Structure 1
Amino acid sequence: MDSLNLTRMLAATDQTPYSMESPDGLKYDTPFMKRQESLINNRFQSDVTFLVGEKRQPIYAHKLLLIIASEYFNAMFNGNFKESSSDEIEVRDIEADIFLEILRFIYCGKVRLTIENVLEIYVHAQKYMLNELRRRTVRFLEKHIDADNALKIFAQNRLYEFSFINEKCLALIRKNPLVYFHHEDFYVLDRKSLEIIFASKKINCTDEQLFQALRDWKKINEHEYVSELQSVISAKRSYNCSKLRFFGNMSKTEHTDLKFSIDYTHSLAFFGIGVFIKSPESVVTVEVEIAENLEILGRHRFEYENKDYSAVNVANLFFEELTLRPGDWYTISVKFSSELDCFTITNPQICHDKLKLFFDSNYNTIRSVVSHFYCDEIKK
């Protein structure tokens, strides 16, 4: 049939060549990527079958598409390997759902990444020398690791120990550890992950809070021995934030509430305070209430182990991260349950080239038992 008669016939039936379906069910009026995606695990013109995972699930593929996408597959099918002449290839180190996502990327540049599968896809992207897929998984992780899933991803990474994942997760955990110590994922954390966290050289909590976290974890993981973990906690460390020290005249006098506002270009992440303590008691209970205007942001109770009765000590008290916004007014109230000699700073000041603190009080003179803040700026 010549082209003129074909055109007339199609016009009479209101069809175009791209609207016809082949005997194999292929549709020619779909976009290119759709057609490519339809070939994933499709017997049509398949010339290799992968037997995937422990169940040896058959997955059909096309050598040409694999060869032009990956040096790994190019070497497999064109090198001196038995796979080059085999129609069936066993792949035991990957599950079928992950292998299909690898094929999806090879065939049409798509991949369905989730928190649950991204690490395994990253591993096999490296194995199959799919550099763009590997970069895509890294971008996904950098974007999606957050406070809610940092512990889970950190624990999953024990199988792989990718440094960039450890760094991202540990940065979140070390910044605000008390949130994570009460997270449901903490109690099912493996011992190795727990040891890495406890071995942190900088973390925003006290040793006692680390010991309490270990005791809480031990209640769920009764079979685990924790003596080595206790030794890790006892190692010297510092805090993962800045110390904003107050200056002024120090005297022995009753303290007032500390009401303040910040003047700064950024909000502050607020992690804790230092409090003056001089007491004959071996354990001093300190109650701290933090309010924004009339709203209570947090009430905290601390048991401070007083090791030196003769000196004025500073109790470092850490709580879950709070955000201090410029222009808002905050009040810190401190109460002690036992008798002590109260030492304060009169009309406290700070030394900072950009940050300013404004203090307000119902008293003529501010006498603060708070010696310093633990905080950091929050980048915009």
Structure 2
Amino acid sequence: MACAGSAVLEGDAAAFAAAVRSLINNPQFSDVTFVVGRERQEVFAHRCILACRCQAFQGMLSQPQAGAQEPWPPQTPLVLSHVQPEVFLAVLEFLYTNSVTLNSLIALEVLTSAVEYGLDDLRKAAVTYGQTDLQEHCLVFVEDRTQEVVQTRSFHELSAAALVAVLRSDRLAIDEPHLIRAVWEWAHVSSAVLERPVAEVAAGPVRELRLPLLSPQELAALETNNQRDPLIPVESIAEAWKCHVLRKGSGAPPRLCQRRRGTQPREHHSYLE
């Protein structure tokens, strides 16, 4: 406890930060060694820093080696074959200095490690830096595995804005009727979670559904189902019918007449283009 009249005097912050940074991957005075990645690169660290900064490492270093009673001995390296050395060094940099140097080549992997080790501040930094790359990677993943993705819980938990971004893609590997059904299911889940009407929570995403791609039979079935369970504005359905009546794409925004990668061919598609 500080005495009356005492004061906290701070030294040179830059010098302190530089001194601590010099400890990163420094074998001098280190008491734990990691063997990292396929390259089996040795990385040196200090137990006290890892343990006080990260509960995951605290648990890892406190657990005894197989067949032993004492915590993990200093002379026995910890093998981390699933992480790249440069990614692990970025994690260590954050643990030692509370800052991290990122580039586009490792941002996503650092994000993964931050989640794995429960480092929330590092996760936020990686997301902020790699937000564009992260979105692009996620969209490519969804585009390549659309049929599987739309059946997952994660798809049902998407925000309306994120779903709109997905639905604007021409490269979704799914036929439109299946995509409409997936959006219908997403809307009901979101409605229950947000306690708002289905049509209200789905107002943005349903505008990205490409109804003109449906055959007359599919459109008629959709219209009947929509009367029982309103989701899609009647104006959007009317626009799709107009394309069939006029036998051309006018009557709907051009993007809604564009076939996706997974769209199955239908006879009327020839006059939508």
User: Quick check: 1:104 aligned with 2:93?
Assistant: yes
Aligned to 1:68, the other structure's residue is in SS state: helix
Which has the larger Rg?
A: 1
Aligned to 1:152, the other structure's residue is in SS state: helix
Q: Which residue of 2 aligns with 1:150?
A: 135
Where does 1:141-290 land on structure 2 (aligned, <5 Å)?
144-145=131-132, 150-155=135-140, 163=154, 167=158, 171-174=161-164, 177-178=167-168, 180-181=169-170, 186=171, 199-201=182-184, 202-203=205-206, 204-209=208-213, 243=233, 274=239, 277=242, 284-287=247-250
**What is the deviation of 1:52?**
0.5
Alignment deviations for residues 51-98 of structure 1 (CA, whole Å, 9 cap, x no partner): 111221111212221111112222232332357104321111211121
Q: Which residue of 2 aligns with 1:73?
A: 57
% identical aligned pairs: 21
Change (3 A) 1:43 1:131: same
> Number of residue pairs matched?
209
**What is the deviation of 1:242?**
8.3
Q: Which residue of 2 aligns with 1:85?
A: 73
User: Quick check: 1:124 aligned with 2:108?
Assistant: no
Q: Which runs of 5+ in 1 are unaligned?
A: 1-17, 19-27, 212-230, 246-270, 291-297, 308-335, 338-380
CA root-mean-square deviation: 5.2
Counterpart pick for 1:36 among 20, 45, 56: 20
Alignment deviations for residues 84-116 of structure 1 (CA, whole Å, 9 cap, x no partner): 104321111211121111111101111245666
TM-score for both structures, normalised by structure 2? 0.53
**What is the deviation of 1:135?**
4.5
Question: Are the counterparts in 2 of residues 177 and 205 from structure 1 also a CA contact under 8 Å?
Answer: yes
Counterpart pick for 2:48 among 33, 41, 64: 64
Aligned to 1:60, the other structure's residue is in SS state: strand
User: What letter is aligned with 1:152?
Assistant: H
**What is the deviation of 1:124?**
2.3
Distance 2:155 2:240 in 1: 37
Aligned to 1:97, the other structure's residue is in SS state: helix
Aligned to 1:49, the other structure's residue is in SS state: strand
User: What letter is aligned with 1:85?
Assistant: P
Counterpart pick for 2:122 among 118, 133, 141: 133
Point out the structure with the larger helix share: 2
Distance 1:306 1:33 in 2: 68
Aligned to 1:51, the other structure's residue is in SS state: strand
Question: Are the counterparts in 2 of residues 48 and 61 from structure 1 also a CA contact under 8 Å?
Answer: yes
Change (3 A) 1:51 1:205: same
Change (3 A) 1:195 1:171: farther
Change (3 A) 1:302 1:75: closer
TM-score for both structures, normalised by structure 1? 0.41
Q: Relative contact order (C-alpha < 8 Å, sep 6+): which is higher? A: 1
Change (3 A) 1:135 1:299: closer
**What is the deviation of 1:31?**
2.9
Where does 1:295-334 land on structure 2 (aligned, <5 Å)?
none
**What is the deviation of 1:127?**
2.9
Q: Which runs of 5+ in 2 are unaligned?
A: 1-10, 146-151, 185-204, 260-265
